[in-house]
Amino acid sequence: MLSKSLGAAMNEHLSKELYAAHLYLAMSAYFDANNLPGCAAWMRAQAEEERTHGMKFYEYVYDRGGSVELMSLDKPPATYKSALDAFEQAHEHERQVSQAIDALYAQALEEGDYASQVFLQWFIQEQVEEEKTSGTLVETLKMVGDSTASLLLFDRELGSRGSSGG
Ligand SMILES: [Fe+2]
Ligand SMILES: [Fe+2]
């Protein structure tokens, strides 16, 4: 059974994953509004993936005898300065999620909760991928710079690849 404090922390993290879905969907809307359908599709796929992450926590909490309590989600930004700005914010958010997962793992370790450690290991690996992907896209967009032609190519590339995460 989950300890009360780890259960509460897992609940908090469940809402963090749902906020990530909310944030990516806001970014998708921004790209749709700015005629970059490839970026919009990529962000939407990310949003769906974050929702599945949230649901993994949802199920895990019940599997371990806890109960789920949803929290209200902050309003994500509706506009961004540029594609680079949106992807930089996405990357920064992934780094924050990684830190939150690490903190959960540290707590599971401290409590000697082996099942939670195994559960969280999947997320630790997932975050390595997420940070790598978003970091690479940020670097690519820095190379794109002010070139509209390159931005359109980038958009087409993202549209054809869809989500690259797991
Ligand atoms: Fe996630
Ligand atoms: Fe993510």
CA–CA separation, 120 and 18 (whole Å): 17
CA of 126 to the centre of ligand 2 (A): 8
Examine the pLDDT at 165 and tell me if it is beyond 50.
no
pTM passes above 0.85: yes
Among residues 27, 39, 71, 14, which one has the least CA distance to residue 137?
Answer: 39
Examine the pLDDT at 166 and tell me if it is beyond 80.
no
Confidence of residue 16 (pLDDT cuts 50, 70, 90): very high
Examine the pLDDT at 8 and tell me if it is beyond 50.
yes
CA of 111 to the centre of ligand 1 (A): 24
Q: What is the DSSP string of 3-69?
A: -HHHHHHHHHHHHHHHHHHHHHHHHHHHHHHTT-HHHHHHHHHHHHHHHHHHHHHHHHHHHTT----
Half-sphere exposure of 52 (CA within 13 A, CB side): 10
Of all ligands present, the nearest one to the C-alpha of 131 is: 2
CA of 20 to the centre of ligand 2 (A): 7
CA of 149 to the centre of ligand 1 (A): 32
Query: Over the stretch 44-57, which tens digit does the pLDDT of each residue have?
Result: 999 999 999 999 99
Output the average pLDDT for the chain.
96
